Amino acid sequence: MTGAYAPFVLAAYALTGGALLTIVAWAVIDRASARGALERAERAAKQKTQRDAR
Amino acid sequence: MTSRTGREISIINPGRFAALSERALPWLAGATVVCFCVGLYFALWASPEDYQQGATVRIMYVHVPSAWLALFTYVVMTSAALGTLVWRHPLADVAAKCAAPIGAAFTFVALATGSVWGKPMWGAWWVWDARLTSMLILFFMYLGLIALWRAIDEPSRAARVTSVIILVGFVNIPIIKFSVDWWSTLHQPASVIRFDGPTIHSSMLIPLLIMASAFMLFFATVHLAAMRTELMRRRARSLRLRAARAVR
């Protein structure tokens, strides 16, 4: 793309791409953190059940 | 009738939702990528330049879909707020909470790309125009709701409070849509979603609709993924609370 308006068009697409990729990154990081929290909670619950059984 | 309603509700219970969404997510993600590839090809290369605006018309293919999705996301949140307050559906609050950051991102994109388009066409990055100002208010509403969800620890209380605010805030949606008709504004009037049909030429309308579909699929993919994450987080919270109660 060439011409005087090209920087504006490219800036608009870069802004959009950046925002959409940020949302994807947020979804991935949030999922990893939630999975970690769930694993810790399940481990703690399992240990408690084993302690109670003893 | 009762059994039909019961079956419908059981389809959207959290357990079945998790199973269905797990199967749907890869297909949705794939369709999003394909739709974006086709849409970008049309938007950047195959569609014509405007006789007045030149190449800047290509900004329309990201600006308009993001503005549509900014409004659509709020409509989804309003439906979810009704689901929380009226039917007390366990997934409704999760749907509203997970839609807010995505809606904020779309609103930001609509405002930022509109600003980049406004500079060469209007000679200004920003004007306090009715459409722009009402969109800015929508952006702050999204940020305020996200902050409120984070400020209240107890999920059911947070759900009730935010649902009421979402319903009150819905008044801004028709204001945004009709601001260009009700007030004299610099922003152009609607050219696609009109009672008498689109006024935009098909060579630009088709790429715009493909990009709008790509944005819609992106929303569906990320929203489903975020809802699954939120359900996981809530399960972890309930396990922690159960353990804490057992210690006491």
Q: Which of B62, B69, B217, B228 to mutate to test the interface with A (most CBs of A within 10 A)?
A: B62
Taken in order B184, B187, B188, B192, is the CA torsion positive or negative? negative
Q: What is the pLDDT of residue B244?
A: 77
B84 touches chain A (CB under 8 A): no
Nearest to A34 among B109, B232, B239 (CB): B232
Of A19, A41, A44, the CB nearest to B109: A19
User: Is the CB of residue B105 less than 8 Å away from at least one CB of chain A?
Assistant: yes
How far apart CA B248 and CA B236 sit, in angstroms, is 19
The token pair at B247 is 């210690």
B29/chain A closest Cα distance in angstroms: 11
**Of B49, B80, B44, B52, nearest in space to B167 by CA:** B80
* C-alpha–C-alpha distance, residues B48 and B113, integer Å: 20
Pair B82, B74: CB distance under 8 Å:
no
Minimal Cα–Cα distance from B15 to chain A, Å? 16
Neighbouring CB atoms inside 10 A of B35's CB total 19
**Cα separation, B98 vs B224, whole angstroms:** 9
pLDDT number for residue B62: 97
**A23 burial type by CB count under 10 A (0-12 exposed, 13-18 middle, 19+ buried):** buried
Cβ B66–A16 below 8 Å, yes or no?
yes
pTM of the model: 0.90
- A6: which residues sit within 8 A by CB, 6+ positions away? B55
ipTM: 0.89
Q: Quick one: DSSP state of residue B98? A: H
Q: Which among A1, A12, A30 has the least Cβ separation from residue B117? A: A12
Which residues 6+ apart lie within 8 Å of B128 measured at CB? none
The verdict on A41 touching B (C-beta cutoff 8 Å) is yes
Rounded average pLDDT over A14-43: 95
**DSSP assignment string, B148-205:** HHHH--SHHHHHHHHHHHHHHHTTHHHHHHHHHHHS--SSPPPSSS-TT---S-HHHH
Please state the three-class secondary structure of A27-48 as a single string: HHHHHHHHHHHHHHHHHHHHHH
Per-block average pLDDT, block size 10, for chain B (248 residues)? 46 77 94 97 89 88 97 97 92 95 97 95 92 97 96 91 96 94 83 76 91 98 96 90 74
Using a CB–CB cutoff of 8 Å, tell me whether B244 touches chain A.
no
Residue A51 at interface with chain B, using a CB cutoff of 8 Å:
no
Using a CB–CB cutoff of 8 Å, tell me whether A29 touches chain B.
no
Please report the pLDDT score of residue B1 as a whole number: 37
What gap in Å lies between CA B219 and CA B227, rounded to an integer?
A: 12
pLDDT at res. B187: 85
Residue A6 has pLDDT above 60, yes or no: yes
The answer to whether residue B240 neighbours chain A at the CB level (below 8 Å) is yes
